[in-house]
Homo-oligomer: A and B are copies of this chain.
């Protein structure tokens, strides 16, 4: 057997890491979908042992030595190999940045804060969460400072780098600022236009079995490979697994014919991304997805843009009639389109339409940066949230549950996460504009239920790129243009403005 180069040895180590992570994914899926209710303690030990093993692998002195030796010989590496080595280093740097004592303290603080968050929601009182959230914020701040030192970044940027690699807060500001400027007026315009054309309410009971059959047919048409993936019911929608074994769940509400389907579209977007990652690099860091913002872009493109487009609704309508056994004026193409694209000012992020959603994200982005820098104290968060809601959303939440207690993210220590939702929407808008330019027949394809053209474009331009580039480079590579909020804004203008630049061209 020939001696392996340091780089080749690294590939072996990361292949092992990939196998462990795949095992973790199956264990997590099982815990959510099939595990007996009483077995969480057993599963907890298994997950902890495997996670510890992954961390030990990344933090081992052997890996550090190999990385150093591989770096020394990096001139001989090819393009993808260099990117792979960079990603290996990135994973290792993240793993060793935090001392084990801080990892343990943060894990304990988060466990307490998560439990307190549920309790606070039961009492509808943010005050219940304050001491635990203060502790989490304190520890996350320490973590951010350590990461910031290691990566020479601003502390918030160092956290966000995990979710949107290569995108700094100044880049995010450049995306969000034009949105924040234009969206409030655009929401008003959309609401005025809606008021002129009331929709017919869609009512009835839609059995979960029928919803599942509808989703399955839609997912098949989109290209979800059921011999390489599963689709199950769960109390929440998620995607889990590794390329080659991807599992999507949906949650069906019998009163709502669309919620489960839109959730399934969202998850299918992520699943197709994972399934399209570069096959040759599937077990290496460079073969992984390019973070939350990119995943979200694939999800939102299907759920928000394609899945609510005129063309998609035209294709979907007969499927709804078939699976739900419905007909009549509420189920006309026009009425379905209007229902699916209804804009409403509401306090909840997760229920928001694509126009007001961005405002929810910007609100969180501003608040979490103030929390992390210490400019905002945790105990003042409720007031700050309500003030900003009034200012940006035009409403004050009637309760903490509807307001600052609606998301669990901060209690779990996830700071730097929220903007990836908003960035994902912006990227989806830019990808969509490029697809429409390069594939002028895309509307007709979708209208006929043919999604190969869409999927092929995404595979080639986005999925198959893996983690080869940072987020901005990946978008530039895919669309030929710099990452910008302009395409997303153009899409929104065409769809919702009372004076659209060119509505037909937007595919809305």
Q: Which residues of A contact B (CB under 8 A)?
A: 15-16, 18-20, 22-23, 26-27, 30, 34-39, 41-43, 45-46, 48-50, 53, 225-230, 242-245, 283
Closest 3 CB pairs of A and B: A19-B49, A39-B245, A38-B227
| Whole-angstrom distance between the Cβ of A394 and the nearest chain B Cβ | 47
Question: B19, B49, B230, B243: which contacts A46 (Cβ < 8 A)?
Answer: B19
Evaluate whether A36 and B283 lie within 8 angstroms (CB atoms) in the complex, with A48-B19, A49-B23 already known: no
20 new A-B pairs (CB below 8 Å) besides A19-B45, A35-B245?
A16-B49, A19-B46, A19-B48, A22-B45, A22-B46, A23-B27, A23-B46, A23-B49, A26-B27, A26-B30, A26-B46, A34-B230, A36-B230, A36-B245, A38-B225, A38-B244, A39-B244, A39-B245, A42-B242, A43-B245
Task: Kindly list chain B residues whose C-beta atoms are within 8 Å of the C-beta of A41.
Answer: 244
A242→B35 CA distance, assembly (Å): 12
Task: Kindly list chain B residues whose C-beta atoms are within 8 Å of the C-beta of A230.
Answer: 34, 36
Task: Kindly list chain B residues whose C-beta atoms are within 8 Å of the C-beta of A27.
Answer: 23, 26
Q: Are A50 and B19 in contact (CB under 8 A)?
A: yes
> What are 5 A-B contacts defined by CB distance under 8 Å?
A19-B50, A20-B49, A26-B27, A35-B245, A53-B53
Q: Are B42 and A22 in contact (CB under 8 A)?
A: yes
Q: Are A226 and B36 in contact (CB under 8 A)?
A: yes
| Whole-angstrom distance between the Cβ of A53 and the nearest chain B Cβ | 7
Q: Are A244 and B42 in contact (CB under 8 A)?
A: yes
Task: Kindly list chain B residues whose C-beta atoms are within 8 Å of the C-beta of A283.
Answer: 45
Task: Kindly list chain B residues whose C-beta atoms are within 8 Å of the C-beta of A244.
Answer: 38-39, 41-42
Evaluate whether A228 and B22 lie within 8 angstroms (CB atoms) in the complex, with A43-B245, A245-B43 already known: no
Task: Kindly list chain B residues whose C-beta atoms are within 8 Å of the C-beta of A225.
Answer: 38
Q: Which residue of B lies closest to A227 (CB)?
A: B38
A39→B16 CA distance, assembly (Å): 18
Q: Which residue of B lies closest to A21 (CB)?
A: B46
| Whole-angstrom distance between the Cβ of A111 and the nearest chain B Cβ | 19
Q: Which residue of B lies closest to A53 (CB)?
A: B53
A16→B36 CA distance, assembly (Å): 22
Task: Kindly list chain B residues whose C-beta atoms are within 8 Å of the C-beta of A42.
Answer: 22, 242-245
A50→B45 CA distance, assembly (Å): 15
| Whole-angstrom distance between the Cβ of A142 and the nearest chain B Cβ | 22
| Whole-angstrom distance between the Cβ of A220 and the nearest chain B Cβ | 14
Q: Which among A15, A37, A42, A43 has the highest number of chain B CB atoms within 10 Å?
A: A42
Task: Kindly list chain B residues whose C-beta atoms are within 8 Å of the C-beta of A20.
Answer: 46, 49-50
Evaluate whether A228 and B38 lie within 8 angstroms (CB atoms) in the complex, with A26-B26, A245-B43, A283-B45 already known: yes
Task: Kindly list chain B residues whose C-beta atoms are within 8 Å of the C-beta of A34.
Answer: 30, 34, 230
Q: Which residue of B lies closest to A283 (CB)?
A: B45
Task: Kindly list chain B residues whose C-beta atoms are within 8 Å of the C-beta of A26.
Answer: 26-27, 30, 46
Task: Kindly list chain B residues whose C-beta atoms are within 8 Å of the C-beta of A30.
Answer: 26, 30, 34
A242→B46 CA distance, assembly (Å): 11
Task: Kindly list chain B residues whose C-beta atoms are within 8 Å of the C-beta of A35.
Answer: 245
| Whole-angstrom distance between the Cβ of A62 and the nearest chain B Cβ | 13
A229→B38 CA distance, assembly (Å): 8
Question: B15, B19, B53, B229: which contacts A36 (Cβ < 8 A)?
Answer: B229
A20→B39 CA distance, assembly (Å): 16
Task: Kindly list chain B residues whose C-beta atoms are within 8 Å of the C-beta of A226.
Answer: 36
Task: Kindly list chain B residues whose C-beta atoms are within 8 Å of the C-beta of A50.
Answer: 19-20, 23
Q: Which residue of B lies closest to A229 (CB)?
A: B36
A506→B128 CA distance, assembly (Å): 65
Task: Kindly list chain B residues whose C-beta atoms are within 8 Å of the C-beta of A245.
Answer: 35-36, 39, 42-43
A126→B221 CA distance, assembly (Å): 47
A452→B426 CA distance, assembly (Å): 63
A477→B41 CA distance, assembly (Å): 32
Q: Which residue of B lies closest to A49 (CB)?
A: B19
